[in-house]
Amino acid sequence: MAKNKKLELVKRDMNFFSDFTASSGQMGSYISLALLVILGLLIVGSGIYAVVFLQTATVRNNINVLNAKMQGESYQADLAKFTEINSSMAGLNQQYYDVSSLLSKVQGKDKVQSSYMDTIYSNIPKDIAITKFAYTGGTITLTGEADSYYSPLDLISNLSKAKLFTYVAITNISQVDVSTSELTPADLLLTKKYTFEIQGSLKSNYVVLISRLIDSTTSEPLTAVKSQTLAAGESFTESGVNTYTSQDGSVYTLSRVLIDNVAVSETTMAAIRQNDSISGLVASSVDIKLFYTLTSTSGGAQ
């Protein structure tokens, strides 16, 4: 019996050590696997770091090369030459504008003859009184008063028959408001009831000038004067006037408009912006100046 008990104790001890050894081996496998995973992560991380480091070093080296090149005598000489050429271009652009503007003015130069007035007055209806005579740009503008609404139409008919004008039109007929006047009944009988304005074109063709200028004290031109010759009574249209993009990519926005050196009304300006164009009928030479302000450059917004 004692011997059997001893054998059982020995077996029990052997089973204990066997279980312990198995547990230790399993634990060792887990640790080895974890070490392999950590080692793998370290290798991958080292690879990524090496790639980033190399890329950063390459970029930094390229920056240093560019900085060195920009500081070099050759680059500085080219930069100074570019600045000089850019300044010369601005001067040439101003000269180009001046020459084209002068040429356009010479082409549109004319003078009025006294015979025109003789023809006009010999064809005036009896109830019409001419109060103002103006001659500009090859066009005669007659301002006057009439007893009848149709009398200015009769005047146009007479002038058309006389073949004085190549194109003639009434720009305005308005009834005179005498309700607030202090005239006597006798004076009212002598007062003309209508005022009118008639424009007559003496030439067959007229020059329309369109300039684009920077809205500043110097009014530096953005481009040369655009000149076109159109027949009297023909319409003209200039589209894309709201903005102007220069050759260097700078963008300019329309700020104001002068027609024959007179600023257009707010209503007309609103219509120009809405339609992105300016148009009209040619009854005389027309000088249109479009003024712009700089809104953005090729390098970004202002």
What are the pLDDT digits (tens) for 255-276? 999 998 999 999 999 999 999 9
- Three-state secondary-structure class, residue 59: helix
CA–CA dist 147, 127 (Å, integer)? 6
CA–CA dist 288, 209 (Å, integer)? 6
Spatial contact of 166 and 228, defined as CB atoms under 8 Å apart: no
Looking at per-residue confidence, does 193 or 244 come out higher?
244
The domain defined by 205-301 folds into Ubiquitin-like (UB roll) (3.10.20)
Asked whether the predicted pLDDT for residue 66 surpasses 60, the reply is yes
Percentage of residues of the chain with pLDDT beyond 90 = 21
| Per-residue model confidence as pLDDT tens digits over 149-205 | 999 999 988 888 888 888 888 888 988 876 666 666 666 666 788 999 998 888 888
CA–CA dist 286, 268 (Å, integer)? 16
Instruction: Please indicate whether the domains covering 114-201 and 205-301 agree at the CATH topology level.
Output: no
**CATH class of this structure's domain 114-201:** alpha beta
Asked whether the predicted pLDDT for residue 83 surpasses 70, the reply is yes
pLDDT, mean over the chain: 79
User: Exposed e or buried b for every residue in 268-280, given b needs 16+ CB within 10 A?
Assistant: ebeebeeeeebee
Domain residue spans of the chain:
114-201, 205-301
Query: Among 53-57, 73-77, 86-90, 124-128, which stretch is predicted with the lowest mean pLDDT?
Result: 86-90
pLDDT at 243: 95
The mean per-residue pLDDT over the stretch 42-67 comes to 78
